[in-house]
Amino acid sequence: MLSAKGARCLGFLYALTACSTDPPTPPAGANASPSTVAVEKAAREYREHYNSPVDLDSTDFYYQPISVLTKDGTARSRTFESGSYYGSDDEGRSGIEGTCYNVVFMRKSNVNEQHLLLPHGQFVIQQIDDQQKPDARWPYLFYGIIKADTNADGEQNGEDATTLFASDRSGRQLRQLTPDGTHLEARYYLAPAAVMLVEVRPDANHDREYTRADGTYWLRFNLRDLAAPPVRQPAAALGRQLHQQMLQRQSRLPQ
C-alpha cells in the first residue's frame, strides 16, 4: 500500500502529464546521473542567480525566478535567455536573466514557508505570466516550459518543444496543459467567458523542427475549470471539411 507521501508524489506526476495526448518525453539526462567530473566542471563555470522577487498582487505570496549564469559573464553553451511576461521596467521588474530552471514561492505572512515550483532542475522555464487580466480574476499562473532537448542539438532552447503549464497563485497544483511534442505559439483570452485559446504547433513531419510546414491547431480551455480536458478547434469533422475545401480550391487554380 502506498504511503500518504507516495500517493502525493504519484498525484503530482499525474498532474504534469494529465492533459498530454502523447507519451511524456523524459527530461534530458533523466536516466543518468552526471559524473563527478561533470559536476565539478559545472561548479567552476556556472552559478545560480536569484532574479528580482515578484509580488503576486493581493495574495499572500511572492515568487523569485532562479536561473543559471556563467561565472565569466559569457553566453556560451548550455545557457538560454529565458523570456518573461511578468511585468515591465515601468513596474520595477527587470525580467529573467539567464536560463530559468526553477521558481521559489514564499509567503509574505510566514518567513519560514517557502517551496519550489518544480521538484528538479531538468526543465527550462521559458516564460512566466502572472498578470491579472482586467475582466476576469482567475487564480492561475502560466508558464512556458521546455521539458527536453527534443531536437537533440545539445541545448534546451526555443527551437525545442514548449509546453504550457499552470499553477495556482501560490505555486502549487502544477499541471501540464498542452501536449508533449508541440511548440507553444500563442494564447488569447476571452475574459468574460473565462475562455483561453492556445495555438500549438506539432512536429507533423517528424523532422524534430517546428516550422510553417507543420501547421498549427488551437485548443480551447475553460478557465473556470482547468482540470477539464481542452477542446480542439475546429472539431475534427469540420477540420476535415476545411482540408477538403482547400484541396479542391487549389487543384482548380491555373497552373
Condensed to tens digits (0 to 9), the pLDDT of residues 205-241 reads 999 999 999 999 999 999 999 999 999 999 989 999 9
The answer to the question of residue 8 being in a domain is no
238 Cβ contact partners less than 8 Å away, ≥ 6 residues apart: none
The answer to the question of residue 88 being in a domain is yes
Quote the pLDDT of residue 39: 92
The answer to the question of residue 125 being in a domain is yes
Q: What are the E-state strand segments in the chain? A: 46-50, 54-55, 61-70, 99-107, 110-116, 124-129, 140-146, 163-168, 175-176, 182-190, 195-202, 217-222, 231-233
Quote the pLDDT of residue 82: 65
**Residue numbers of the domain that contains 202:** 14-28+35-251
The answer to the question of residue 100 being in a domain is yes
Tens-binned pLDDT, residue by residue, of the chain (255 aa): 444 444 444 343 334 444 443 434 444 444 567 789 989 999 999 999 999 999 987 789 999 999 999 898 776 545 565 655 444 444 445 578 889 999 999 999 999 999 999 999 999 999 898 876 555 567 889 999 999 999 999 889 889 999 999 999 999 999 999 999 999 999 998 878 889 999 999 999 999 999 999 999 999 999 999 999 999 999 989 999 999 999 999 998 886
The answer to the question of residue 98 being in a domain is yes
Omega cis (within 30) before 119: no
Distance CA(37)–CA(41), nearest Å, equals 6
Structural domains counted in the chain: 1
The answer to the question of residue 55 being in a domain is yes
DSSP conformational letter for 162? B
Cell 475546429, residue? 234
Among 193, 192, 191, 213, smallest CA distance to 201 is for 213
Strand order in the sheet with 231-233: 182-190, 195-202, 217-222, 231-233
The answer to the question of residue 102 being in a domain is yes
Quote the pLDDT of residue 220: 97
Write down the pTM of the prediction.
Answer: 0.79
The answer to the question of residue 1 being in a domain is no
Give the phi and the psi of residue 124 in degrees, each rounded to 5: -115, 125
